[in-house]
Amino acid sequence: MWSSSAVARNTAVLLTISLLQLARGISIVKSGVSNYSFPDDFIFGVGTAAFQIEGGWNEGGKGENMWDTKLHSEPTITVDHSNGDVSADSYHHYMDDIEMIKKLGVQAYRMSISWTRILPNGTDNNINQEGVKYYRTIFEELLKANITPVVTLYHWDMPTPFIALGGWINAKVIDYFEDYARVAFRLYGDLVKMWLTINEPNENCKNTYEYYKLPAAVKLQGVEIYICTHNSLRAHARVYRMYEKEFKPDQQGKVSIVLESAWPEPNDPNKPEDVEASENYLQMQIGMFAHPIFSEEGDYPRVVREKINNMSRLQGFARSRLPYFTDEEVTALRGSADFFALNHYSSMTVSPLKEDYYWKDLSYYNDTGVHIQVDPFWTRSAAFWQYIYPPGFRKLINWLQNNYKILREIPIFITENGYIDLGGTEDYERVDYYNDYLYQLPLAIHEDGCNVKGYFAWSLMDHFEWRDGYTIKFGLYSVDFNSPNRTRTPKLSAYNYANIVRTRRIDFDYIKRPENLNTTTSKLAK
Ligand code: NOJ
């Protein structure tokens, strides 16, 4: 039995936790239909990326990219030793994909072009007509079905020849990226009116050059990540300005870059240092990319510049590990986006790192100065990194809206958001995730005045999830990776999403969860 002092102690702990939960905006389960609806001009979509679904790795004249090459030479880098050779085989089944998208009833499809499918060596002196035709057919078929293609140019599949040059840490790659983008605009700009230059450059730079999770890593922690950051931003600006000058007058399309962040909830919202840690996290994670493009003054955020300069000085560097833009680059970057493209999946709790040890080791993590934990009350998905806290989505959107005035004029599109499980079509937890996260958007729009105009569920179907291979799933459609046809089957979440798209409201009871279902994710906060 518990002693009375232990009971008192536990009661105090529970009370503190409940107060924290309240402060973090967690309330109880919702049922029925949401009272807010999505505005008429709100666009629903669904997304994929070439390497994650296409397969056909050496078919139709395609050249190798860094994933092809690395996974063939070192299969153990994926947890299941798998690769993307066939994947969901969208190279052959793209018409099935389009049928699936039609069934969802969405207005837009986000997909990416595989750089080496249209330029096998990565360079524009050799254009692969079969690859060119492949994407042209998809875009035409999408448009026939009234589905707007939203196209990412770089979704992490660097042409292999550029890997020997260092990939994004070699500024020369910016030129080749610009050449590739020009070819894509010339070939498809009559059909594609929404372009995304680079997908999540923050995660790409971190995973490739800091944590060595993606192929192509060279090892200079705390240094290369910023060269990659710098070059990705310069590459984005180059492509944006090139489109503006050479194509926009005729094609009238829009261009942006995809940025990503989890929501960093202050560990204790009443502690100013935890609130500051949250701000520091955001500035390092997303502000480093968003500030040069979306702020009025441009360039890296002051806090980021100061942090990395100070740390570099302490560590004995004669120059900052964060490179400087030229004045021309600052100008080219400022305003180089026609909308804000945001990816969001998860939340964390944050507090400051302890000063006495952290600065000594060179790393991005130490530069942030932020200690990352999670709330014990949040449930986790099948991925170690995904913690479910729907209000974090709304808070992140509000943070962007409050930080960048330009977002009153240009809209925010959520270009990725989705739930990870281990597979199966009875995906009640994914249904809950989509309901709970999507519900945050009408709140952000109607109650907070945020300028969110679209949402893309991630993803259309189960796919190759980078180093996790095929072990974890994101799809609204399940893919049987053991069947030669890669048979696709709608999950409950597909029916649920189609209902949201059709009714423009969230019906929390549309998919009824069986009473006795034993699941790890409970319905959470609204
Ligand atoms: C972001 C990436 O853009 C996408 O490729 C990936 O599948 C999701 N995050 C989930 O990890």
- Residue 416 Cα to ligand 1 midpoint, Å, equals 8
What is d(CA 17, CA 378) in angstroms, rounded to the nearest whole number?
12
Angstrom CA distances, 505 to 38, 40, 42, 443, 458, stand at 6, 11, 12, 12, 19
- The distance of Cα 165 from the centroid of its chain, to the nearest Å, equals 26
Rg (CA), the chain: 23
Q: Where are the alpha helices (DSSP H) in 283-420?
A: 288-294, 302-314, 327-333, 355-358, 364-368, 391-403
CA angle 187, 190, 193 (to 5 degrees): 105
Q: Give the CB-side neighbour count of residue 268, counting CA atoms within 13 A.
A: 7
- Residue 132 Cα to ligand 1 midpoint, Å, equals 25
- Nearest residue to 383 (alpha-carbon basis) of 418, 421, 425: 421
At 515 the pLDDT is: 80
* CA 260 to ligand 1: nearest atom: 1
Q: 130: how many CB neighbours lie within 10 A of its CB?
A: 12
Do 354 and 427 form a contact (C-beta atoms < 8 A)?
A: no
Cα dihedral 68, 73, 76, 77, rounded to 10, equals -50
* CA 420 to ligand 1: nearest atom: 10
For ligand 1, whether the C-beta of 199 sits within 6 Å is yes
What is d(CA 220, CA 222) in angstroms, rounded to the nearest whole number?
6
CB proximity list for 52: less than 8 A, separation 6 or greater: 84, 87, 88, 155, 459, 463, 464, 465, 466
- Residue 431 Cα to ligand 1 midpoint, Å, equals 19
The domain spans of the chain are 27-516
Residue type, 475: G
At 5 the pLDDT is: 42
At 251 the pLDDT is: 98
At 31 the pLDDT is: 86
Which tokens sit at 162? Answer: 């550029």
Q: Sign (positive/negative) of CA torsion 215, 286, 393, 48?
A: negative
For ligand 1, whether the C-beta of 465 sits within 6 Å is yes
What is d(CA 13, CA 388) in angstroms, rounded to the nearest whole number?
22
- Residues belonging to the active site: 200, 416
For ligand 1, whether the C-beta of 343 sits within 6 Å is yes
For ligand 1, whether the C-beta of 279 sits within 6 Å is no
Tell me the best of 416, 433, 473 to mutate to test the pocket of ligand 1, counting ligand atoms within 8 Å of each CB and taking the most.
416
At 24 the pLDDT is: 53
What is d(CA 181, CA 203) in angstroms, rounded to the nearest whole number?
21
CB proximity list for 355: less than 8 A, separation 6 or greater: none
What is d(CA 66, CA 71) in angstroms, rounded to the nearest whole number?
8
Q: Which position has the token pair 């209000």?
A: 391
What is d(CA 175, CA 277) in angstroms, rounded to the nearest whole number?
37
Digitized pLDDT (tens) for each residue of the chain, 526 residues in all: 333 443 343 334 344 444 445 445 444 457 899 889 999 999 999 999 999 999 999 999 999 999 999 999 999 999 999 999 999 999 999 999 999 999 999 999 999 999 999 999 999 999 999 999 999 999 999 999 999 999 999 999 999 999 989 999 999 999 999 999 999 999 999 999 999 999 999 999 999 999 876 776 667 899 999 999 999 999 999 999 999 999 999 999 999 999 999 999 999 999 999 999 999 999 999 999 999 999 999 999 999 999 999 999 999 999 999 999 999 999 999 999 999 999 999 999 999 998 666 677 899 999 999 999 999 999 999 999 999 999 999 999 999 999 999 999 999 999 999 999 999 999 999 999 999 999 999 999 999 999 999 999 999 999 999 999 999 999 999 999 999 999 999 999 999 999 999 999 999 999 988 887 755 443 333 3
- Residue 48 Cα to ligand 1 midpoint, Å, equals 9
What is d(CA 219, CA 209) in angstroms, rounded to the nearest whole number?
7
User: What is the DSSP secondary structure assignment for residue 408, as one 8-state letter?
Assistant: G
- The pTM of the whole model exceeds 0.85: yes
The CATH class given to the 27-516 domain equals: alpha beta
Q: Where are the alpha helices (DSSP H) in 24-118?
A: 50-53, 66-73, 90-104, 115-118
